[in-house]
Amino acid sequence: MSNFDVLIVGAGTGGVMAAAQLKNANGKLRIGLIDPADTHWYQPAWTLVGAGTFNYKKTARPMASIIPNGVEWIQDKVTTFDPANNRLSTAKSGDLGYKFLIVAPGLQYDIDALPGLREALDTPYVCSNYLNPEKTWEVLQNFEGGNAVFTQPSTPIKCGGAPQKIMYLAEHYFRKSGKRDKTNVIFATPGSIIFGVPDFARTLNGIIAKRNIHFKRFYNPIAIDSANKTVTFKFIAPSGSDCVLTKEDRLHETLKGDTEITIPYDMLHLAPPQSAPDFVKQSPFAVKEGPGAGWMSVDKGSLQSTEFANVYGLGDVVNVPTAKTGAAIRKQAPVVVKHILAGLANGQASDTYEGYSSCPLVTGYGKMVLAEFKYDNVRDSDPFLTKFVDTSKEQWSMWILKKYGLPWLYWNRMMKGKM
């Protein structure tokens, strides 16, 4: 059985960044990085791909080119964890041992958790930037008017702002292409508000009102009927709230019983239901019950497993109360790395992750709001940037950051362990 100083599960943003930082700090460490994929994707640009303003091919690089020098890439799948004996099992490579383990496999898409979704994705009217952003662009170009519905599930999702980003871009595209006057743009969400941080919510609410977007709160998608091109929602507002359909009935909503609402669509974009990978759900690391069931249980400050002292979680898989984004990982990885380096030296680290995350909210072609926040929805905007620009307002400079600056920083800094 091969043994490693640090074994990392997942060669996504978190796994690669942690591996690079560990190797930069101590070149003698034996580090294993487990991932079966051949390709590493820069998924934050898929919003722009879906709007026809970024080259999909440029979001991909061969996985072999991303693995840090000196790190052993194990191109395999993890099957089970055995943390009591400091080892795990893989599909082809047998058992692997470790002194410290980082669990960073991301999440999975539960396509079949939403009845009708799998079949609907095979039609030319339903798309998802999470699954195929090039198809989203095709759907937008082929759309000729009617109901353009954008929605998301009640499960946690990666980049919680992504479903509304493509909605803003689509609305702008419909205006540019002369289709807006015959289009109802509908954003239906299980949530109660457009965004959790007040400063950014004010801006987004203003955009929704100005651009005549139908904002449907407490709408949880429960079924898609692709044959009839309808999506059905369960109205999940707190008891006592009224379920009010659009008065002029422009959207042709229909109500069944007290809580089920059906909307016809001429195009539908959605984020699929998402969950922790099955091998994490079934592991000793998973939250057993409650809202976080299945996700990895960690201390929200150190990201250390709540059950095993030499195990850490990182990225989308962890159950912490903040958004699942690459920006969150940028702040999480250094904390995990410092704790592990201290542990290898028989010491302790005091570094703490404060819940930082960021959502670059693209609100149209050439416009973006940069929402930065931490635990408890406290605004946490970069003090340097805010000297020059109000990132809570739509800015052309933030669009340039999104389209050009952030991809460069990702490939040349984050993936090299330099930030």
Domain count, the chain: 2
Residues 249 and 114 in one domain: yes
16, containing H or E segment: helix 13-25
| 93/80 Cα distance (integer angstroms) | 13
Residues 234 and 335 in one domain: no
Out of 209, 244, 273, pick the residue that ends a domain.
273
Q: Is 359 a catalytic residue?
A: yes
Give the phi and the psi of residue 60 in degrees, each rounded to 5.
Answer: -120, 145
| Per-residue pLDDT at 167 | 98
Residues 74 and 137 in one domain: no
| 22/283 Cα distance (integer angstroms) | 25
Out of 233, 257, 273, pick the residue that ends a domain.
273
Specify if 381 maps to a domain: no
Which position among 159, 188, 263, 336 bears the catalytic label? 159
Specify if 385 maps to a domain: no
DSSP codes joined into one string, 93-123: S-EEEEEEEEE----EE-GGGSTTHHHHTTS
Residues 127 and 269 in one domain: yes
Q: What is the CATH number of the domain that holds 338?
A: 3.50.50.60
Residues 167 and 236 in one domain: yes
Specify if 360 maps to a domain: no
Out of 252, 273, 294, pick the residue that ends a domain.
273
Residues 262 and 137 in one domain: yes
Q: Is 159 a catalytic residue?
A: yes
* pLDDT tens digits in sequence order for the chain, 419 residues long: 799 999 999 999 999 999 999 999 999 999 999 999 999 999 999 999 999 999 999 999 999 999 999 999 999 999 999 999 999 999 999 999 999 999 999 999 999 999 999 999 999 999 999 999 999 999 999 999 999 999 999 999 999 999 999 999 999 999 999 999 999 999 999 999 999 999 999 999 999 999 999 999 999 999 999 999 999 999 998 876 655 565 557 899 999 988 999 999 999 999 999 999 999 999 999 999 998 999 999 999 999 999 999 999 999 999 999 999 999 999 999 999 999 999 999 999 999 999 999 999 999 999 999 999 999 999 999 888 888 899 999 999 999 999 999 999 999 999 999 98
Specify if 362 maps to a domain: no
Q: Domain of 65?
A: 2-107+276-355+404-416
Specify if 90 maps to a domain: yes
Specify if 30 maps to a domain: yes
| Per-residue pLDDT at 238 | 84
Specify if 399 maps to a domain: no
Specify if 366 maps to a domain: no
Q: Is 181 exposed, middle or buried (0-12, 13-18, 19+ CB in 10 A)?
A: exposed
Residues 97 and 133 in one domain: no
Residues 100 and 121 in one domain: no
Which position among 359, 362, 371, 415 bears the catalytic label? 359
Residues 215 and 240 in one domain: yes
Residues 88 and 141 in one domain: no
Residues 70 and 191 in one domain: no
| 282/108 Cα distance (integer angstroms) | 14
Residues 208 and 116 in one domain: yes
